[in-house]
Structure 1
């Protein structure tokens, strides 16, 4: 949704872009901050859109993008770290989809579309797992 390189996402722009999912975004941003995660919006020419990189120290924990009515979060795991996701306290549908996901090169993607505040709990469980990985 955010594809104008001259308009950096701010609170007002995100509120308009996300619509009903804005409350979930605010909840996620607050939880990320409390967990020591830093959220930085950058424009990426290859995708022609603004993406939010969420990092812990120097490690990329996940990516976030704004869509009409939801936030898309993207995590990337290796085959070695993939198994740990199955043991997390997250929605079973997430685990099932991830178990079926194929690798893209050396990484296995895990995407969650977040439209409700309740889903932030799953995103943060994955973020904490990713943060703890070496």
Structure 2
């Protein structure tokens, strides 16, 4: 059992912190509301680049090394098959500077790399997929009607 200490004055109660105390707010015109912004993070406009016709033995670090000569590479990844883990022959590189990305695209497009001619261009936004597998028409497959 812990003995109670008497004679201590209670601590003063501090006012509750509000979300507005932690970060300044800025106006978000897209949503027409105020949102917190971070003071420490600098907003960087990344440029995403598609790299196609890669040799199947190429890796993310290989892509990073290939693009590093043009500027800062934020990320580089080779897309792999989910089931086999084998490269699908294309990947994506994100660069922090649009001018460096443009220089890399201009220099590396149609250049031989690992015995193959690369396809290098600005990545397009991913299209939304429609549907979700299945048989689609609801069937009758194998019912023997």
Higher relative contact order (CA 8 A, sep 6+): 1
Same fold (TM over 0.5): no
* TM-score of the aligned structures, taking structure 2 as reference length: 0.27
Flag the structure with larger Rg: 2
Give TM-score, length-normalised by structure 1. Answer: 0.29
